[in-house]
Amino acid sequence: NDVTGCVSTITLDLRVNPIPSPDPDPSPIVVCDDDNDGFSSFDLESRTVEIINGELDIEVSYYETLSDAETSQNALSSPYNNIVADNQTVYVRAENTLTGCFTVVELDLEVQPSPEVPLDIEDYIECDDDSNGITAFDLTQMDATILGTQSPGDYTLTYHLTQADDDTGNNPIVNTTSYSNASNPQTLYVRLESIANGCVSTGVFDI
């Protein structure tokens, strides 16, 4: 049989799956440092929605190194405690759950310093001229004690009647130069907020 000139053909499909396109520059996660040691706890998953950027079928995971992100090894759990003081970069793997294609982006973790308020603030004592247990206190006399070596222009200092208001910053005492106590003694709460980063520290003392 002469088969010269016979040709067989097959059809081969080539498919190129697109790689995920997460947000290439997600917002840093910024936290306030309660003890100013440069380390804190981060909710990594708080950036997941931003990173996915509306794309479907994307799974996001977080890693300490680029190599781990590329090989999908040693994924971080949240909350995560940074291991590099003050500023650390972690790597985010955005993987398409249908194709396995992935993209890695960087996420910055920033620890911001908090104001320093003395742990033990001495009582503020005034003499009572008419012995009724009520007198006027100039709370601004406590400013220097609370601020220490910190510059007054860098902070907002307020005084409050309850811990709840101190935590939120609501209902500060307005007449700080002449506040009349409601009981004797009375506990007051102090709130020191950084103008630069919004970090807050609180304290307590008695009048």
Stretch 129-135: mean pLDDT, rounded?
84
The answer to whether residue 100 scores a pLDDT higher than 70 is yes
Q: What is the pLDDT of residues 146-158, one digit of tens each?
A: 999 999 999 999 9
Whether the predicted pLDDT of 166 surpasses 70: yes
* pTM of the shown model: 0.78
Give pLDDT, residue 32. Answer: 97
**DSSP conformation letters of 115-149:** P---SSPPP-----SSSSS--EE-GGGGHHHHHTT
Burial of 153 (0-12, 13-18, 19+ CB in 10 A): exposed
Establish how many alpha carbons lie within 13 A of residue 162's alpha carbon, considering only the half-sphere containing its beta carbon.
5
The lowest-confidence range among 9-18, 22-31, 39-48, 87-96 is 9-18
Residue type (1 letter), 153: G
Tokens matching residue 149:
């070596």
Residue 59 confidence (pLDDT): 96
Backbone angles phi, psi at 108, to 5 degrees: -90, 140
Q: Quick check: 101 pLDDT over 70?
A: yes
Please tell me the predicted confidence (pLDDT) of residue 4: 61
Residues above pLDDT 70, as percent of the chain: 95
Tell me what the pLDDT averaged over the chain comes to: 93
